[in-house]
A and B are shown apart, each in its own frame.
Chain A
Amino acid sequence: QSALTQPASVSGSPGQSITISCTGSSSDVGGYNYVSWYQQHPGKAPKLMIYDVSNRPSGVSNRFSGSKSGNTASLTISGLQAEDEADYYCSSYTSTIIFGGGTKLTVL
C-alpha cells in the first residue's frame, strides 16, 4: 500500500481556519470510515486528534474537526492558535495502518 497524500505544508494566521487534505484510494480512505488524525509537536510523541473520520477524543478542542468526501479526508482547525503549530498526520485502517506523509502547519 502507498502512503496517503498530504500537502507538505500549510499556514494560517491566528484566528483563521485551515484545512489539511489526505488523499488515498477506494481501498483505504474511500472504502472505510477509519481515518484518524494525529498532531505531533517537535520531539514529542504523536497525539490522537480525530478518529473514525470525524470523532474527537475526550479532551481535544472542538476547534478540530474532520470530514471525508470520496477518497479524500480533511482536517479543519478553526480559530488557529500558536499552540496548533505542529506536524499533522492522517492514517487509514484496513487491518493494517497506512499514514500520510505529514503536513507541517505554521501559524504566522
Chain B
Amino acid sequence: QVQLVQSGAEVKKPGASVKVSCKASGYTFTDYYMNWVRQAPGQGLEWMGWMNAKSGGTKNAQKFQGRITMTRDTSISTAYMELSSLTSDDTAVYYCARDGAGGRELDPWGQGTPVTVSS
C-alpha cells in the first residue's frame, strides 16, 4: 500500500534550519507531486509548497518565499523539506502529503514530524 514515512521529531534554536524527510513506498515516486503542509499547535492546516518529484520543480506559498527548499532523492524515493531562519512561529507538526489520483487533492499523508523552535 502507498505509505509515507517521515523523519523524527526535531528541536531547533531560533535562526537555525530544519530538514525533514519523507520516504515513499508502494508507488512510483516520480509519478506524483509531493506537498508539504504544517500545523501549529492548536491551529489549522497551512500549505507550504509542492514539488514535482520527476523534474524537481517546485512552487511554494508566498509566505515561505526564500526560506523553504524542497528537494528529492529519486534513488531512495525520498522527498525533503528544509526551512531556514526558524523562529518560534515555526513550531509546528510538518506533514508531507502526496497528490492524490486526481492530482488536486492530498492523499495519503505522512505521520507528521514535530518541530520545536526554542532557545
Let me know if A102 is at the binding interface, CB within 8 A. Answer: yes
Q: Do B104 and A45 have beta carbons less than 8 Å apart? A: no
> Which size class do A's interface residues fall under?
20 to 34
Interface residues in chain A, defined as those with a beta carbon under 8 Å from any beta carbon in chain B: 3, 34, 36, 38, 45-48, 51-52, 55, 57, 89, 91, 93, 95-102
Q: Do A101 and B44 have beta carbons less than 8 Å apart? A: yes
Interface residues in chain B, defined as those with a beta carbon under 8 Å from any beta carbon in chain A: 35, 37, 44-47, 50, 59, 61, 95, 97, 100, 102, 104-112
A-B contact count, CB below 8 Å?
61
Measured CB to CB, the closest approach of chain B to A55, in angstroms, equals 7
- When chains A and B are docked, how far (Å) is the Cα of A91 from the Cα of B46? 10
**A34-B105, A46-B95, A57-B107 given. 11 additional CB < 8 A pairs?**
A36-B105, A38-B45, A45-B109, A46-B45, A48-B100, A51-B102, A89-B44, A95-B59, A98-B47, A100-B44, A102-B44
User: A89: nearest residue on chain B (CB-CB)?
Assistant: B45
Given the contacts A45-B112, A95-B59, A97-B35, A51 and B107 also touching, CB distance less than 8 Å: yes
Q: Which residues of A contact B59 (CB under 8 A)?
A: 95-96
Looking at chain A's contact residues, the main secondary structure is strand
Measured CB to CB, the closest approach of chain A to B2, in angstroms, equals 12
- When chains A and B are docked, how far (Å) is the Cα of A99 from the Cα of B44? 8
Q: Do B46 and A99 have beta carbons less than 8 Å apart? A: yes
- When chains A and B are docked, how far (Å) is the Cα of A40 from the Cα of B104? 19
User: B49: nearest residue on chain A (CB-CB)?
Assistant: A96
